[in-house]
Amino acid sequence: MKERRTPTFSRWKVKGSLIKLVYFSTNSDDSSSSNDSLAASNGDRGSPVLEGKLHFAKFETQKINDCIDFIRSKQLRLTGSEQHGASGSAKCVIKATGGGAFKYADLFKEKLGISLDKADEMDCLVAGANFLLKAVHPEAFTYMGGQKEFVKIDHEDLYPYLLVNIGSGVSMIKVDGPGKFERVSGTNVGGGTFWGLGKLLTKCKNFDELLELSHQGNNRVIDMLVGDIYGGMDYTKIGLVSTAIACSFGKAISDNKELEDYKPEDISRSLLRMISNNIGQISYLNALRFGLKRIFFAGFFIRGHAYTMDTIAVAVHFWSKGEAKAMFLKHEGFLGALGSFMSYEKHGFEDLKVHQSVQQSPVGASLGGDKSHDPPNGDLNENQSIDCSVYLSQ
C-alpha cells in the first residue's frame, strides 16, 4: 500500500527537549496514482475531501538529523492544498511552532529546502486541545488509584477549562472557547527541571531511564514525612496523615549521607513526586482562582506515566477536597503540533473530521519515535494514527 501525504507540519523545540511531528497521509491503495488530488472526493459540504490518517512522531531534539531524514524519507510537505490551488505560494512549507520554529528555520531550509511557517505556541496548544477534546474519543481520562477511566466530553459543556501544559516549563491556560483563552499562570519548575536535576543527581543518560528508575524507587528514603516529624502520628487537626510528605528531600538534611549513598531510583522517585505534586497544587490554585472544575494536563513530561499521573491527580483531589478533577490526554505531547496542523487553513485546509476509530499504525511508521524506551505504563501514542478526512477549500 502506498501512502501519499498532504498537509504536514511539525513543532520544533530547543536542545534537550523534543521535536513533535504530526502529519497526514492519504491511504489510497491505488499505487499507480502519483497525484494527491486523485485521493480527493467531494464531501457533504461540496468541498474536496482527502481520506487518510493523522500520524504522530517525536524525536529528541539532539537527534534532529533523524527527524530530517524521516521528513525526507516520507516526503513530508504541504501538498494537498497546492493541488487545489489554494495557495500558489505554499510550495514547500511546514507549519511549526515553539522555539524550534525560530531556531531551526535555517537548517530546514538548507537541508530540506522547506520553509517553516511559524504559528504561535499558545494558539496552537489551545487549538490542539480543543480539537482532541471535541473530535477524538477516547481521548481524555481520569487516573485514580491505578485506574484509568476515559471520559466522554460533552461538547456543549466543554468550556471553561484549565489547560496545563507540562513541557520543559509549565503553562497554565484558561480556555473559554475556540481561540478564546488567557495564559493565566505558569511555572519554571516543570519537566525540564525533573530531567535536568535528575540527570545531575542520578547520572542517567536519557529521560526514559530516569522515568524507569522512578518505578523502582521509594521516595520515603529521602522525603521527610509528617510522621517523621510527629513521631509516626498523623497531624489530624490540619488534615495531614503521617504518610504525607512534609518536606521533599528533607531527610537528606540530617541523614549524614553523601549523594552516592542514595539509590538513584529513590532520588528519581522523590524528584518526580516533588515536581508532579507542585504542578498539581499550582494548577489547583489557578483553577480555584477562576472557578474552573476541570483541569486537563498535557505535555510530554507526563508520558502516560502512572506515578506522575497519580501524584498530579491526588494533589488536585486533595487540595480541592474532591471538587476539581485532573484529566489527562492520550495525545498529551502533541497539542502544539496538532494546533499547528489546524492552522493550515490559510493554505487551503478547511476542516479536519475524525473517524471515530483510533488505529495502531504499522510498526516502523514512526521511525525515530523512541518506542523501545517507552515506560511500561506509558501510552505509545506516537505509534497511533487517527483515521480522518481533510476538507480542502474549493
Ligand X SMILES: Nc1ncnc2c1ncn2[C@@H]1O[C@H](COP(=O)(O)OP(=O)(O)OP(=O)(O)O)[C@@H](O)[C@H]1O
Ligand Y SMILES: CC(C)(CO)[C@@H](O)C(=O)NCCC(=O)O
HSE (side-chain half, CA atoms, 13 Å) at 78: 32
Give φ, ψ of 51 to 5 degrees.
-95, 135
Which x/- pattern, by CB under 6 A, does the window 134-173 give for ligand X?
---------------------------------xxx----
Partner touching 186 among ligand X, ligand Y, none, CB below 5 to 8 Å by kind: ligand Y
HSE (side-chain half, CA atoms, 13 Å) at 224: 13
How far is C-alpha 168 from the chain's CA centre?
11
**Based on CB atoms, which residue is closest to ligand Y, 102 or 150?**
102
The region of 100-108, 154-162, 167-175, 380-388 touching ligand Y under the rule CB under 6 A is 167-175
Among 170, 292, 298, 314, binds ligand Y (CB under 6 A): 170
Asked if 120 interacts with ligand Y (CB under 6 A), we say no
Which x/- pattern, by CB under 6 A, does the window 202-241 give for ligand X?
-----xx---------------------------------
**Based on CB atoms, which residue is closest to ligand X, 299 or 339?**
299
Q: Which helix (H) or strand (E) holds 316?
A: helix 306-319
**Please, what is the angle between helix 335-342 and helix 121-135, to 10°?**
90
Asked if 167 interacts with ligand Y (CB under 6 A), we say yes
Residue carrying the nine cell digits 525540564: 192
**Based on CB atoms, which residue is closest to ligand X, 22 or 49?**
22
Asked if 303 interacts with ligand X (CB under 6 A), we say yes
Asked if 328 interacts with ligand X (CB under 6 A), we say no
Instruction: Give the chain's largest Cα–Cα span.
Output: 76
Among 83, 171, 270, 277, binds ligand Y (CB under 6 A): 171
**Based on CB atoms, which residue is closest to ligand Y, 169 or 378?**
169
Nearest to 338 by CA among 163, 146, 112: 163
Among 5, 21, 60, 331, binds ligand X (CB under 6 A): 60
Asked if 242 interacts with ligand Y (CB under 6 A), we say no
Cα gap 15→12, rounded to integer Å? 10
Asked if 186 interacts with ligand Y (CB under 6 A), we say yes
Written as nine digits, the cell of 86 is 489554494
Cα gap 114→137, rounded to integer Å? 33
Asked if 83 interacts with ligand Y (CB under 6 A), we say no
Nearest to 121 by CA among 11, 40, 31: 11
**Based on CB atoms, which residue is closest to ligand X, 80 or 299?**
299
Q: Least separation, in Å, of the C-beta of 11 and ligand Y?
A: 10
Asked if 194 interacts with ligand X (CB under 6 A), we say yes
Q: Which helix (H) or strand (E) holds 21?
A: strand 18-26
Buried b (16+ CB within 10 A) or exposed e, 132-157: bbebbbebbbbbeeeebeebebeeee
Partner touching 17 among ligand X, ligand Y, none, CB below 5 to 8 Å by kind: ligand X
Asked if 191 interacts with ligand X (CB under 6 A), we say yes
Contact present, 50 and 392 (Cβ < 8 Å): yes
**Interface positions with ligand Y (CB under 6 A):** 121, 167-171, 186-188
